[in-house]
Structure 1
């Protein structure tokens, strides 16, 4: 399966930015982060000893609606648990995350927001890393659908998502903890448990032990784990920015 295409700092005037394109769902997201900044007109929302996270979703050329506000709340709540907002210079300041849907058929409106939610989450994480915002951990997210035959579909296309009996978005921390579980449709606990196991494998891969006792993350049947995609994106940017220093050493 073709993995997502990612990049860091595609925007030059933001403190941090990232792009994320998922060929399967058709989601194409461009995100930016500005932090730490003053939040004009929002003094009532500022925290005395912590940073305030704000998330804005721009659905292409269309105006935002109830679906966007709902997804903004999900992402804001999740990022608020990961951002180390009490670090120096972040108290009483704002961290503004802007996510623009620049392509694809999926839009976070009504019942269709689940298909694009993982791409929005991944873009926000990469943009925060690009802006050097301190985080307690990273995460990876995926969407799975269950068809009428009970088969699990990874990152279903909009047509498959519309025909699915249930859709599930799960996000796991870099430590393997379940951070987010958003589901829609009809399903039982056994189905959800199969979904959780499959999502964990997609996000973290499978573990392979070596004779010397080392444990490494390897590719599974779906290809490279999403956690590895995030790591490689950051490593590639690091090597690109510091190639001159690495070569000199």
Structure 2
């Protein structure tokens, strides 16, 4: 099974940043984290919490309904893991830029990205992972680390993790699950037609890929002893960043 690629501190003018590339190279997203900031509008100040703002910029268009929904979902995931009480009346701003997307050869001329009529779930999983990685690089105080994965349930009932563009088009349903380091589910988003049993199998497969454990024996996930879980990939990215700079965060 191919694995995602995460590199920290890819931008120099932000408090934290990361670049995430999906395992199927379907998209590359760069995040920029600014934290803590003064809240621009007093009406958004939270007296005992941190206001979180997420901005998603697509690679070739202006943000529309799909991007607005992804922004809100990512914001809710960050809200569940960030220790907002440590910086009350402040703001955490997360900007996500889609820098590259796969080309759909089945469309005339080849079109990058699924467009507003396509599924947003592949981009959602990448946006969650890139935002969390950026927060790690920026030294944002968090209760735990989280990762998200997209899963496809094919027409024959097989469960495919990190499906390709062709597999996503042929799938009966698509799902995104996010789990934290304790294995608790933070996010569930689904599209298509599926049975409860298929949804549970997809969730167990996603848990295995994100955390490295917890999959039932009847769920087929292509992971061997050398395959890293998504949270391990993030951990290795942090270790590489610390080893390179000799410190957690620049002074």
Q: Same fold (TM over 0.5)?
A: yes
Which category describes the TM-score, using the shorter chain as reference length? 0.7 to 0.9
Residue of structure 1 equivalent to 2:236: 232
- Secondary structure of the residue aligned to 2:85 is coil
1:75-90 alignment runs, 5 A limit? 75-87=74-86, 90=87
1:1-249 alignment runs, 5 A limit? 1-24=1-24, 26-40=26-40, 42-87=41-86, 90-105=87-102, 106=113, 109-206=116-213, 220-221=223-224, 223-242=227-246
Q: Distance in 2 between matches of 1:17 and 1:100?
A: 11
CA 1:107 to 1:117, structure 2 compared with 1: closer, same or farther past 3 Å? farther
Conservation of the 8 A alpha-carbon contact between 1:141 and 1:169: yes
Shift of 1:8: 0.6
The two structures, once aligned, show a CA RMSD in angstroms of 1.8
- Secondary structure of the residue aligned to 1:97 is strand
Shift of 1:229: 0.4
Give the structure-2-normalised TM-score.
0.86
- Secondary structure of the residue aligned to 1:36 is strand
Conservation of the 8 A alpha-carbon contact between 1:18 and 1:130: yes
Gaps of 5+ in 1: 208-218, 244-249
Q: Distance in 2 between matches of 1:174 and 1:188?
A: 28
CA 1:108 to 1:43, structure 2 compared with 1: closer, same or farther past 3 Å? farther
CA 1:76 to 1:206, structure 2 compared with 1: closer, same or farther past 3 Å? closer
> 4+ residue stretches of structure 1 with deviation over 3 A?
106-111
Conservation of the 8 A alpha-carbon contact between 2:49 and 2:89: yes
Conservation of the 8 A alpha-carbon contact between 2:59 and 2:101: no
Give the structure-1-normalised TM-score.
0.87
Q: Distance in 1 between matches of 2:60 and 2:39?
A: 25
Q: Distance in 1 between matches of 2:13 and 2:69?
A: 28
Residue of structure 1 equivalent to 2:106: none
Pairs aligned (count) = 229
CA 1:171 to 1:198, structure 2 compared with 1: closer, same or farther past 3 Å? same
Q: Distance in 1 between matches of 2:53 and 2:114?
A: 20
Gaps of 5+ in 2: 103-112, 215-221
Shift of 1:51: 0.7
Residue of structure 2 equivalent to 1:246: none
